[in-house]
Amino acid sequence: MRLFVALHLEPRVLAKVKETQEHLRSADTRDEVRWVGPHAFHLTLAFLGEVEEAPRLELEQALGVCLGSVPVPRLGLGDIGAFPSRGRPRVIWIGLHAAGRELDVLAQAVRAAVRGAGLDADDKRFKPHLTLGRVRAEGARLAEPLRAALSLPVSWASPPVPHPWVGLVRSHLSPGGSRYENLHEWRLQRSP
């Protein structure tokens, strides 16, 4: 099964992400982007790929142990960005910023649990973001309304909020996009 570990977002933050995505979507006059459904917003902490049942159970145990001592991260929204660049985007995202180091501690703990369960952990630099959409034509230059919308700063007036839920998530791939199934959830208890 295709798995990843994710931090689930709090409703206040999800509402602002949806609002931001709708603003961008309204600027997508040529339907150049396949927008992610709001049910799919999550912060990936570790992508695992295909995992068999026995290692998955071992991973659940390892995550349960390590997450008991990890503080709850407090997150707010950052600016809109794109991979590999805004000039020729492939993925459009919104960044997250953390109050303190709790998010980095959580990401490191999850990767250590993944390795402890005998699985490969992605060692790429952790850049907290939520994918909003994927550009349909690789290397295409977006129409001006959407390019302009990508340059606008996101207004996030409230302070970062706690995000205590971590999940082991299964991804079901289909031509219509991915569908996610929570296999196990943990609530982080420790305050920063």
How crowded is the C-beta side of 49, counted as CA atoms within 13 Å? 4
In order of 45, 101, 167, 169, 176, the CA distances from 51 in angstroms are: 16, 30, 15, 12, 23
First to last CA, the chain: 34
Answer yes or no: 129 catalytic: yes
| Residue 185 one-letter amino acid | E
* Beta-carbon contacts of residue 91 (< 8 Å; ≥ 6 apart): 82, 83, 131, 133, 134, 135
Return the bridge partners of 163, or none. Answer: none
Catalytic: which of 8, 39, 42, 163? 42
Catalytic: which of 8, 97, 129, 172? 129
DSSP-H helix ranges across the chain:
11-27, 53-67, 102-116, 144-150
Task: Kindly list the catalytic residues.
Answer: 42, 129
